[in-house]
Amino acid sequence: MHKEEAQRRVDRMLAFREELAQVESEGLLSLTEEERRRLDTYHRGLQNEFARLFDIDVTGTEKQLSWGMRIVSLLGALAISAAIFFFFYRFWGLLATSAQVAILITAPLLATIAADFAARRERSGYFTGILALVALTCFILDLSVIGRIFNITPSQNAFLAWSAFALLLAYGYGLRLMLVAGMVCLLAFLAATVGTWSGCYWLSFGERPENFIVAGALLTLVPLLPHRRHPRFANSYRIFGLLTVFIAILILANWGGASYLAGSPEIIEYGYQIAGFVLAAAVIALGIRRRWAGVTNLGATFFVLYLYTKFFDWWWDWLPKYLFFLLLGLVAIGLLLVLQRLRGSHQGARP
């Protein structure tokens, strides 16, 4: 068992106890003293064991505090990373080249060892997360500054190295922040590589959103590989990959001139507008079918966003503003009714 499973189990226990208390207060069911004692002992034993192994949240207050700690640790990690970056740039000119290189290589090594040390000492993972992000910052600083010191021609392969490093730490210590960092770097590498296939220089990869459609689609396929130890990572890949594809389509639906496709930009825009609606609807359906709540919400969000950008194109210039916004509101209510019917039909189908 891993931390996420243990947390889910504890959450189920808490929900069960709340529901039991409710049912008992309504007189539908009543446990004997012996049954209650056995249940309490069993649950307490499990909770203590999970808390000892994984540092999970056993009460609602602990959960709230955990969220606070996550946010604080993220901000702390970003601030320390920025501090390292600026500290190095402030003093690197006072060091000989050999000292610069030695520091640049040693810093990520030490930070990685420190992250591992923290992972062995704490169960919560907050300090491990901070140190892992510091290690990634040091590695990014390492390659980018070595590039500057030796006037090396920039290459997209640096993103692949940073991505591999971030993903190693993400999977090794179960860190979602590092997973996000790894995915961002991998996305940059894939998009740049796809960009070079058309003969363009890799640094121009941002000028053609289709590069990101290919890269995002590849990320969406990663969960096809088994993720038994980190089941929540699979969902992160899906959400991140689809988000990338949706944003790229949104840009192309409004800026066809940025496409690789030959032909009139206006026709390309229409094509991507249709593709956006079809994909959003398909993603909603897939999310409902597979019970991927995040995927369904993402599909619904972009469906509405595509719709609103179309309304803006059609009506903004000739409708009074109050009527324009009223129409948006009415469309939102219409969609709400559709989703409500969908929800109702699902509830009806439930045994």
Tell me how far, at minimum, the Cβ of 101 lies from another protein, in Å.
7
Confirm if 215 and 251 have CB atoms less than 8 A apart: no
Residue 271 engages another protein in binding (rule: CB under 8 A): no
Cα(49)–Cα(351) distance, rounded to whole angstroms?
A: 35
Count of other CB atoms within 10 angstroms of residue 136 = 27
Select the residue interacting with another protein from 10, 137, 142, 276 (CB under 8 A). Answer: 142
Among 186, 188, 251, residue whose Cα is nearest residue 222: 186
Within 13 A of 96's CA, how many CA atoms are on the CB side?
2
Instruction: Check residue 121 for interaction with another protein (CB under 8 A).
Output: no
Residues 169-228 that bind another protein (CB under 8 A): 169, 171-173, 195, 198-201, 203-204, 207-208
In the complex with another protein, the residue whose CB is nearer, 220 or 259, is 259
238 binds another protein (CB under 8 A): no
Report helix, strand and coil shares of the chain as percent, to nearest 5.
85, 0, 15
Among 76, 265, 271, 294, binds another protein (CB under 8 A): 265
Residue 82's closest CA among 130, 150, 152, 143? Answer: 130
Pick from 27, 34, 61, 93 the residue near another protein by CB under 8 A. Answer: 93
101 is a site residue for another protein (CB under 8 A)? yes
CB of 203 to another protein, least distance (A): 8
The values of phi and psi at residue 70, to 5°, are -65, -45
Contact range with another protein by CB under 8 A, out of 111-119, 185-193, 232-240, 295-303: 111-119
- The two most distant CA atoms of the chain are separated, in Å, by 80
If one asks whether residue 150 binds another protein (CB under 8 A), the answer comes out as yes
Q: Give the Cα separation of 176 and 325 in Å (integer).
A: 38
Task: Give the interface with another protein as residue ranges (CB under 8 A).
Answer: 86, 89-97, 101, 104-105, 108-109, 112-113, 116, 135, 139, 142-143, 146-154, 161, 164-165, 168-169, 171-173, 195, 198-201, 203-204, 207-208, 256-257, 262-266
